[in-house]
């Protein structure tokens, strides 16, 4: 099973090359919910503090300033500890 890939504070140049700032934005209030990825998702957190726990795996903390990739097929639980605002892209 693939892992969640977190890059803390990627360079603005790298984010521009990926065209992150043209991706749609998703927001969500403090909450906890299950999720399964039916494709890869890459996202860049503008705001938030989140713990994502893959089913059967260790919790991964992420939030403001992080570039994160979630693998296709992963089922997990999202725990949003402060409201999220993120750019996202599915592939």
pLDDT bin (cut points 50, 70, 90) of residue 76 is very high
pLDDT tens digits for 16-73?
Answer: 999 999 999 999 999 999 999 999 999 999 999 999 999 999 999 999 999 999 999 9
- Tokens 């860049």: give the residue: 44
Ranges 1-15, 35-49, 67-81: which has the least confidence:
1-15
User: Which pLDDT belongs to residue 46?
Assistant: 98
Rg of the chain over Cα atoms, rounded to whole angstroms, equals 12
Q: Which domains does the chain have, with CATH numbers?
A: 5-86 (2.60.120.10)
pLDDT exceeds 80 at position 1: no
Q: Extract the runs of DSSP E, i.e. beta strands, from the chain.
A: 5-8, 25-28, 31-36, 41-54, 60-63, 66-70, 75-90
- The confidence score (pLDDT) of residue 50 equals 98
């Amino acid at each position: 099973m693939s892992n969640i890939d977190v890059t803390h504070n990627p360079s603005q140049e790298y984010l521009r090359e990926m065209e992150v700032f043209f991706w749609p934005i998703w927001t969500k209030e403090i909450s906890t919910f299950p999720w399964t990825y039916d494709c890869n998702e890459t996202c860049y957190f503008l705001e938030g503090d989140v713990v994502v726990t893959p089913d059967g795996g260790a919790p991964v903390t992420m939030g403001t300033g992080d570039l994160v990739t979630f693998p296709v097929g992963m089922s997990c639980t999202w725990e949003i500890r402060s409201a999220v605002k993120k750019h996202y892209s599915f592939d």
